C-alpha cells in the first residue's frame, strides 16, 4: 500500500485528476453511456472520472484519516450524509414513500457531488496549483461560451435532460423561443454555473492590484472572459441567476474594498438587459405579477395562479430521475405556443410562459414538498420521494430529509462562513484574498439560486460548486504557510 501511494504521489496523479474534473464537467455534454435498468438513471463519463478520482484519493486519505476526522467541515458533511442514510431507511421501511433502488441512486449521487470537495482540498497544496485549477475552469468556460454560440448561430445540438426522453441522449436543435443550454442539461443549469464563475472572475478582476504588465498579460483575459460569460448568462434569460450574480457581485466588491465601484458596476450590469429584451420583459412581468399576487392574498381571494396546476398527478416512482429539471424548459415553450391561454392567463406568449412557470412552483411543486415535510417533519419522505423537481432546494431538503437533513446541510455552510470570517479578520491580501472573496460570492450566488432552482441537485453545477469549496479550503490552508 505504501509503495502504491508513493508511486501515485510521484506521478501527482490526483492533481491531474482534479484538473480533468474541472475541465471535463463543464465542457462535456450530458451523453448517457448506459441506463440503469428499471430507472431513468443514466451513467455518464463524468461518473467514471469521479469514481476513479475517488479511488486514487483513498490512497492519499488513509495516512491522514485522523486529521480528516478532526476537521469540523468534513464532520459536518459526514453528518449530513449520515442523516441522509437514516432518512432513506425511514422512507423505505417506515413511511414507504420511495422505491429502494431509486432512493439509493439519489443518495449515491449526493455522495458523488461531495467527492470533488474532498479531492480538491487535499490535491492542491500550493498557490500555483490553485491558480492553475482556476485557469482550467476559466478556459473550460470559454469552451462553454463557444458551444453556446454554436447552438444559437450554427445549429450545434442540444443535449438536454429536462425530461425522460431527452435524458436518453437525444441530439436536438435549439428551437425558436428556446433558451440556450450550451453543454448543460438546461438553461437554468447553465445560468447557475455562469453566475458562480462570474463571481470568481469579478473577484480576480476587482480584487487585485494590477500593474500595467500584469493587466495586459492576464487582466485583459479575465475581463474578456467575464464579458463573454455575462453575455451568455443574459441569453439564458434566467431571472434568479441574474439576481444571484448581482448579489454575489455586490458582496465581492464590498469585501474587495471597492465600495465606490458598486453603483457604477451595477449600472453597467443592468444596462446589459438591453441586450436581452426578453429578460427585461420577464423581470417586468414578474414584478407586476408579484404585486397583483399579494394584493389578492391580502383580499383573501383564491390563489392567483390557475387551479389546473394543482391537479397535476404525482408521477410513478419508476419514471423519476436524479437529473433535476426546472420550469421553463424547451417543452414548456412548445406547450405555451401550441395551447390557447387558459382563463385568466396572459395572451402574450412570453408572459404566459412566465405565468405558468410561477404557477407550477407555487401551486404544485412547493406545496408537494411541504406536504412531504408534514408527513415526516424529522426525517422527511426520502430522496426521490417528491418527483423530478421542487425548484426550491430548501423546500426540497425539508421534504426529502426533514428538519434534521435541512439543519445538517445548513451546518456545512455555517462552517464555511466561519472559516471565511476568520480568514478575512487576518487581513491577508493578494491572490488568496481574491480567491476567498470570489468563493464567498460563489456561495452567495448558489444560496440565492437555490430559492428557485434545485441547484444542488444539478449535477454539473453541484460538482463544480463543491470542487470550488475544496479549493476555498485549500486556499485558506495554503495562505497560512505561503505569502499569497
pLDDT tens, 89-135? 999 999 999 999 889 999 999 999 999 999 999 999 999 999 999 99
Find the mean pLDDT for residues 219-238. Answer: 92
Does pTM surpass 0.85?
yes
- Looking at the predicted structure, is the pLDDT value of residue 29 above 50? yes
- Looking at the predicted structure, is the pLDDT value of residue 9 above 70? no
- Looking at the predicted structure, is the pLDDT value of residue 321 above 70? no
pLDDT score of 484: 45
pLDDT score of 481: 82
- Looking at the predicted structure, is the pLDDT value of residue 6 above 80? no
Find the mean pLDDT for residues 239-262. Answer: 95
pLDDT score of 164: 67
Q: Which three cell numbers stand for residue 473?
A: 479550503
Kindly state the percentage of the chain with pLDDT values over 90. 56
pLDDT score of 170: 78
Instruction: List beta partners, residue 56.
Output: none
Element (H, E) at 380: none
pLDDT per residue over 258-299, tens digit each? 999 999 999 999 988 888 777 767 776 666 665 555 556 556
pLDDT score of 341: 66
Q: Note whether 435 and 203 are within 8 A (CB).
A: yes
Q: How confident is the model at residue 63 (pLDDT cuts 50, 70, 90)?
A: confident
Q: How far apart are CA 76 and CA 418, in angstroms?
A: 13
Q: How far apart are CA 415 and CA 444, in angstroms?
A: 14
CA dist 357 → 155, 170, 309, 326 (Å)? 27, 24, 10, 9
pLDDT score of 208: 80
- Looking at the predicted structure, is the pLDDT value of residue 405 above 90? yes
Find the mean pLDDT for residues 162-174. Answer: 73
Q: What average pLDDT does the chain have? A: 83
Within its chain, how far is the Cα of 113 from the centroid? 11
- Looking at the predicted structure, is the pLDDT value of residue 337 above 60? no
Closest by CA to 50, choosing from 472, 470, 474, is 470
Closest by CA to 324, choosing from 409, 383, 407, 401, is 383
pLDDT per residue over 460-469, tens digit each? 999 999 999 9
pLDDT score of 175: 77
- Looking at the predicted structure, is the pLDDT value of residue 216 above 90? no
Longest dimension (CA), the chain: 74
pLDDT score of 253: 96
CA dist 61 → 55, 70, 83, 166, 358 (Å)? 10, 13, 23, 38, 46
447 or 11, higher pLDDT: 447
pLDDT score of 312: 34
pLDDT score of 389: 80
CA dist 399 → 329, 369, 382 (Å)? 24, 5, 8
| 364 CB-side CA count, 13 A | 24
- Looking at the predicted structure, is the pLDDT value of residue 313 above 70? no
Extract long-range pairs of 408-416: CB within 8 Å, 24+ residues apart.
408/76, 408/79, 408/80, 408/82, 408/83, 409/80, 411/76, 411/79, 411/80, 412/73, 412/76, 412/77, 412/80, 413/443, 413/447, 414/76, 415/72, 415/73, 415/76, 416/73, 416/443, 416/469, 416/472
Amino acid at each position: 500500500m505504501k509503495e502504491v501511494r508513493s508511486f501515485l504521489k510521484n506521478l501527482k496523479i490526483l492533481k491531474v485528476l482534479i484538473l480533468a474534473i474541472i475541465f471535463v464537467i463543464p465542457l462535456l455534454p450530458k451523453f448517457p453511456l448506459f441506463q440503469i435498468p428499471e430507472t431513468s438513471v443514466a451513467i455518464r463519463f463524468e461518473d467514471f472520472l469521479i469514481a476513479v478520482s475517488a479511488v486514487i484519493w483513498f490512497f492519499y486519505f488513509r495516512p491522514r484519516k485522523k486529521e480528516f476526522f478532526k476537521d469540523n467541515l468534513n464532520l459536518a458533511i459526514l453528518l449530513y450524509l449520515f442523516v441522509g442514510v437514516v432518512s432513506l431507511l425511514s422512507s423505505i421501511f417506515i413511511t414507504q414513500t420511495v422505491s429502494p433502488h431509486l432512493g439509493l441512486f439519489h443518495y449515491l449521487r449526493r455522495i458523488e457531488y461531495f467527492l470533488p470537495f474532498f479531492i480538491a482540498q487535499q490535491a492542491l497544496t500550493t498557490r500555483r496549483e490553485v491558480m492553475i485549477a482556476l485557469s482550467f475552469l476559466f478556459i473550460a468556460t470559454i469552451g462553454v461560451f463557444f458551444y453556446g454560440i454554436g447552438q444559437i448561430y450554427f445549429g450545434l445540438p442540444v443535449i438536454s435532460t429536462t425530461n425522460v426522453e431527452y435524458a436518453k441522449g437525444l441530439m436536438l436543435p435549439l428551437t425558436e423561443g428556446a433558451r440556450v443550454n450550451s453543454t448543460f442539461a438546461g438553461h437554468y443549469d447553465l445560468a447557475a454555473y455562469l453566475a458562480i464563475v462570474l463571481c470568481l472572475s469579478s473577484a480576480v478582476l476587482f480584487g487585485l492590484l494590477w500593474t500595467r504588465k500584469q493587466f495586459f498579460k492576464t487582466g485583459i483575459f479575465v475581463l474578456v472572459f467575464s464579458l463573454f460569460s455575462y453575455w451568455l448568462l443574459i441569453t439564458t434569460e434566467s431571472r434568479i441567476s441574474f439576481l444571484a450574480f448581482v448579489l454575489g457581485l455586490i458582496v465581492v466588491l464590498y469585501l474587495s474594498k471597492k465600495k465606490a465601484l458598486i453603483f457604477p458596476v451595477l449600472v453597467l450590469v443592468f444596462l446589459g438587459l438591453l441586450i436581452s429584451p426578453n429578460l427585461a420583459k420577464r423581470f417586468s412581468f414578474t414584478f407586476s405579477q408579484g404585486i397583483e399576487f399579494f394584493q389578492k392574498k391580502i383580499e383573501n381571494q383564491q390563489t392567483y395562479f390557475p387551479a389546473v396546476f394543482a391537479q397535476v398527478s404525482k408521477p410513478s416512482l419508476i419514471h423519476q430521475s436524479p437529473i433535476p429539471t426546472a420550469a421553463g424548459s424547451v417543452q414548456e415553450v412548445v406547450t405555451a405556443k401550441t395551447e390557447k391561454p387558459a382563463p385568466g392567463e396572459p395572451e402574450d406568449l412570453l408572459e404566459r410562459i412566465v405565468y405558468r412557470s410561477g404557477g407550477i412552483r407555487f401551486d404544485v411543486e412547493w406545496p408537494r414538498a411541504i406536504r412531504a415535510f408534514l408527513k415526516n417533519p424529522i426525517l422527511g419522505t426520502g430522496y426521490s420521494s417528491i418527483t423530478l423537481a421542487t425548484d426550491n432546494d430548501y423546500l426540497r431538503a425539508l421534504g426529502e430529509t426533514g428538519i434534521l437533513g435541512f439543519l445538517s446541510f445548513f451546518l456545512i455552510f455555517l462552517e464555511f462562513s466561519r472559516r471565511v470570517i476568520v480568514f478575512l479578520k487576518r487581513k491577508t491580501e493578494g491572490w488568496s484574498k481574491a480567491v476567498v472573496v470570489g468563493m464567498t460570492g460563489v456561495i452567495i450566488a448558489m444560496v440565492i439560486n437555490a430559492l428557485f432552482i434545485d441547484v444542488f441537485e444539478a449535477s454539473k453545477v453541484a460538482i463544480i460548486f463543491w470542487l470550488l469549496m475544496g479549493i476555498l479550503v485549500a486556499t485558506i490552508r495554503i495562505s497560512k504557510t505561503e505569502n499569497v
